[in-house]
Amino acid sequence: MPHDPSHQLVGERTLMRIYVGEGDHFGGQPLHRAIVELLRRKGLAGATSTQCIMGYGATRRLHHTMSDVSALDLPIVVECVDTEERVQSVLPDLDGMIPAGLITLERAKVIAYRAHRDPQTTPEG
């Protein structure tokens, strides 16, 4: 895929973190996957979904890998860095997808944003 010059992210950008439960679903699929796919469709620079080993949220119920019951709904964090405008543009969609969880925004200084080289078009060196 050719490099998209509109994704020159070096500099001050916005980091969005979305906290949901592993057991949450949207549109028949895990919610964290639906969120990552939405961010990709909307053209954001990239997203990462990470399963956590322990946490609690608004219910104050502890979820961790050592509990047979709570381990079924471990925390998942989806992170995305892009321009403030792009991040703000997806917030209404996310609001309609996330029944319970947390979304945070903070400033981030991007040092580098690079794609892997395509081995078919890059000379071996």
Rounded-to-integer distance, Cα 121 and Cα 123, Å: 7
**pTM for the structure as a whole:** 0.80
Mean of pLDDT over the chain = 85
CB 1 within 8 A of CB 7: no
Q: What is the pLDDT of residues 21-75, one digit of tens each?
A: 999 999 999 999 999 999 999 999 999 999 988 887 777 777 766 665 545 678 9
CB 45 within 8 A of CB 105: no
- Which domains does the chain show, CATH number per domain? 9-110 (3.30.70.120)
